[in-house]
Chain A
Amino acid sequence: MPIKPSWGSRIFDSVNVALLLAFALITVIPFIYVIAGSFATQKELLMRGFILFPTEFSLDAYKYIFSTRTLVRSLLVTVYITVAGTLINLFFTCLMAYPLARKDMDFRKPILMLIVFTMLFSGGMIPTFLVVKQLGMIDTYWSLLIPGAISAFNLIIIRNFFQQLPDGLEESAKIDGCNDLGIFLRIVLPLSMPAIATFSLFYAVGHWNTFFNAVLYINDHTKWPIQVLLRQIVILASGGVGDSTAMESDYVAPPDQAVKMAVIVVSTLPILLVYPFLQKHFAKGVLLGSVKG
């Protein structure tokens, strides 16, 4: 028989719900503000200041930013980096994870130790920069694709995932004359599709958000990914701060509030679109992460 909740308990519940909804609202309002602002006219923005719903709906900001070569180009660059980068990540990560998941692989432990050590200690920004420079990757997209090809953390998680697949399937494939590469491609990969989908999403979000590597390695502004351009437009152009680099020549007007907001929306939208999938998978990813090797 359910016990009727007491008054104190009910007050506790209402306060709790109210506080949590307030927290959720605080999280979401900045997004709504930016999205609403991007559809507002500059006049209304100046007059009302805070808009959660524009009275006068305007697409001017979007028309403007999509008429500039700069934004369209850096969106294309970012799409390219995201697709190519994710494919490269998956290729390198899965291919290396499988042999390390096999108990009959020689030198498995030393190779794993080699990998784990890179999670604790690294050469640091400057030596890595010099290596990338020496390889001639500065100002090429390779500098955004290759230096982060494998995340040691993801590699170990995928390896753990491969390891818990039943051995029997591999054994029987071997008896049927399948070599190790065949086993990997025809048995292990198809079985791991859900996990691989999760990691593709995580890698892809990382590439879409890529920022600092581009600041480090890409000086040619025609090759800037969207995040670097976003910083240029929203952060460096706000309030005439600091070492602001001059705007590119094909920018006619200085960006106003609505334009800045529209650029933020455009550079965020793809992530919001995949967010439902991210959310579905990430709990699994986080929990997988707690499985130790």
Chain B
Amino acid sequence: MPKSIAAQAAVSSASRPSAWAGRLARNRWLYLMVLPGLLYFLVFKYWPMYGIFIAFKDFQPFLGFWDSPFVGLKHFERLFGDPNFVVLFRNTLILAAYNILFFFPLPIIVALMLNELRQELTKRVVQTLVYIPHFMSWVVVVGIAYMFLTTEGGIMNELLARFGGEKINFLVSNEWFRTIVTAEVMWKETGWGTIIFLAALSGVDPQLYEAARMDGANRLRQLWHITLPAIRSTIIILLILRLGHFLDTGFEQIFLMLNAMNREVGEVFDTYVYSVGISQGQYSFSTAVGLFKSIVGLILVVVANNLAKKFGEEGIY
């Protein structure tokens, strides 16, 4: 009975504190294996968290972390008094609202449609095709959008010109920025987004549909009374979690879509941190901006997760 011997050994060593050394020695390989990863997390995740303190200092690289003067909340006062702050907040909120209104329902609708498909083959073909863009980098997606939208031979403007319209410089336009950003997200992630709903739908008992048919329910009624309730909780959870992450506008995408002409509507917290911190070298102020965003984000995620648990779901942690 090897199992019981091992179990006994574990119990006896755990009960005696003096056996700690022995236990340490016995598990030495496990410790050794966990060490590189632990070091990784300490250096690349926890050291930067400690580095956040420069948000309360006037960090100067030549003085170093310790000798840079402590300035308290100066950078936060500057942030809250900055007219840019309102712009950042507004841009983030509007982009998030576009995302929830126009993108969020799409994967649900497509998943419901896929679920109604009777031919397995069609379903498989459609799924295979619509998942592809998820694996493309944002550079490729934005690059393709540029090929379509540029005024120099882009297909959109060629069509506009052919039908006698004026060319529109979509890429440097304030009016079109949010629409294009949202459309790109729709194109890239709708297919992929269906997976979680399809997984929930595959758990529905086919007998339910059969019973409904016997009762004379048509397809729409079946959809309404059986299919939708089956994914309702998934929808609610994803919506709550999305709200928890609403500050996280897709950073790489926005970064790529931004240019000198559309900053007014396109600048969000992350891109602002980049341009102020990396491009202008204001390390302390940009860290303060980042910290503000992280803290609000953390609170939102925790609240969202607790809400999700209230709805009887597991949440994410």
Residues of A within 8 A of B (CB): 3, 6, 8-9, 12-13, 16-17, 19-21, 23-24, 26-28, 30-31, 33-34, 37, 45-46, 49-50, 91-93, 95-96, 98-100, 102, 104-106, 111, 114-116, 118-131, 135, 146-147, 149-150, 155, 167-168, 171-172, 174-175, 179-181, 184, 205, 208-209, 211-212, 215-216, 227-228, 230-231, 234-235, 238-239, 241-243, 257, 260-261, 264, 267-268, 271-272, 275, 278-279, 282-283, 286-287, 290, 292
Assuming A96-B37, A115-B41, A238-B152, what are 19 further A-B pairs, CB within 8 angstroms?
A28-B129, A49-B153, A50-B158, A92-B36, A98-B30, A104-B10, A111-B34, A124-B291, A124-B294, A125-B277, A126-B278, A127-B290, A147-B44, A211-B252, A230-B143, A234-B143, A239-B152, A241-B172, A283-B195
Q: What sequence of 0s and 1s flags, for each residue 109-145 of chain B, a beta carbon within 8 Å of any chain A beta carbon?
A: 0100110111100100110111111011111101110
Establish whether residues A257 and B259, one from each chain, have CB atoms under 8 Å apart when the complex forms.
no
Establish whether residues A119 and B38, one from each chain, have CB atoms under 8 Å apart when the complex forms.
no
Cβ contacts under 8 Å, B125 to chain A: 24
Establish whether residues A179 and B29, one from each chain, have CB atoms under 8 Å apart when the complex forms.
yes
Closest partner residue, chain B, to A234 (CB atom): B143
Establish whether residues B52 and A230, one from each chain, have CB atoms under 8 Å apart when the complex forms.
no
Cβ contacts under 8 Å, A114 to chain B: 38, 41, 46
**A16-B113, A23-B110, A121-B49 known; A127+B132 contact, CB < 8 A:** no
- Tell me which of B128, B155, B301 contacts A49 (CB under 8 A): B155
B213 within 8 A of A: yes
Residues of B within 8 A of A (CB): 2-3, 6, 10, 23-24, 27, 29-34, 36-38, 40-41, 43-52, 54, 110, 113-114, 116-119, 122, 125-126, 128-133, 135-140, 142-144, 146-148, 150-153, 155, 158-159, 162, 169, 171-172, 187, 190-191, 195-196, 199, 213, 218-220, 251-252, 255-256, 258-261, 270, 273-274, 277-278, 283, 286-287, 290-291, 293-294, 298, 301-302, 314, 317
**A96-B36, A118-B45 known; A257+B261 contact, CB < 8 A:** no
For the complex, what is the distance from the CA of A168 to the CA of B4, rounded to whole Å?
11
For this complex, 8 residue pairs linking A to B, each with C-beta atoms less than 8 Å apart, are: A13-B116, A49-B162, A95-B33, A123-B52, A124-B273, A126-B290, A211-B139, A279-B131
